[in-house]
Amino acid sequence: MDDRLIELMNKLQHLESEILHEIQKKEQEFFYQIHKKKVRFEQEVKKAHRELTKKIGPYLRDASIQNILTAPVIWFCLLPALFMDLVISIFQAICFPVYGIPKVRRSDYVVIDRQYLSYLNVIERMNCVYCAYFNGIMGYTREIAGRAEQYWCPIKHARKTKSIHSRYKNFFDYGDASGYRAKIEEVRRGFDDLR
């Protein structure tokens, strides 16, 4: 891969790490701590949060008609997400050991913790659980697909894509036939950064 591209990808990883660090600083600002994947707020904060909870009646009364009408469509999408979760997990469990690809830890992507926020009512909590699950499964699926793509077809696209997955940096440039033939097996085994 081009040295400049490697440099840019490293900068991107560094920036993502900095962003995550800044987000985690909010633990102190909002008085919570994470112990064994459980979020714990100080008692005074929990009490203040409960006082800010919007009751179900006013919540539904204030909801826009388009939100109410589209909610069933949104929730129907849970079925394909559950199916995708099952299928992609089975795919990974069967195929990745055969190809020597490190497995993706589902818990790194599916993080469901917003239901512990006392200022959310039951509907908001359900919606937050749904969004966390759905987006987590999409990230989990993308990572599995990216690793499979690195094994089967590690070639960059000629046309610009809106975003790239974590393995894309290891791919061959579009049109690099000699590089592809010379190093395809090396790239297929190039998961040392994940071990």
SS3 for 134?
A: helix
Judge if 28 and 45 occupy the same domain: yes
Judge if 158 and 111 occupy the same domain: yes
pLDDT band, very low/low/confident/very high, at 1 (cuts 50, 70, 90): low
For residue range 15-26, list pLDDT tens digits in order.
Answer: 888 887 887 777
Range(s) of the domain holding residue 45: 18-51
Number of domains in the chain: 2
Judge if 28 and 73 occupy the same domain: no
pLDDT at 29: 66
173 is a domain residue:
yes
Judge if 176 and 134 occupy the same domain: yes
- Other CB atoms within 10 A of residue 150 CB: 23
Tell the residue number behind the tokens 């589902």, with chain if given. Answer: 106
Judge if 93 and 144 occupy the same domain: yes
For residue range 127-145, list pLDDT tens digits in order.
Answer: 999 999 999 999 999 999 9
Residue 150 CA, chain-centre distance (Å), reads 19
The span from the CA of 40 to the CA of 44, in Å, is 12
39 is a domain residue:
yes
Judge if 61 and 35 occupy the same domain: no
Judge if 184 and 93 occupy the same domain: yes
Judge if 32 and 57 occupy the same domain: no
Return the DSSP state at 32: E
Helical spans, DSSP H, in the chain? 3-24, 26-29, 43-51, 56-62, 65-76, 78-99, 122-152, 177-188
- Other CB atoms within 10 A of residue 136 CB: 19
Judge if 82 and 178 occupy the same domain: yes
- Other CB atoms within 10 A of residue 104 CB: 22
SS3 for 154?
A: coil
pLDDT at 146: 98
pLDDT at 42: 76
120 is a domain residue:
yes
Q: What is the mean pLDDT of the chain?
A: 91
- State the pairing for strand pair 38-41/32-35: antiparallel
Judge if 61 and 141 occupy the same domain: yes
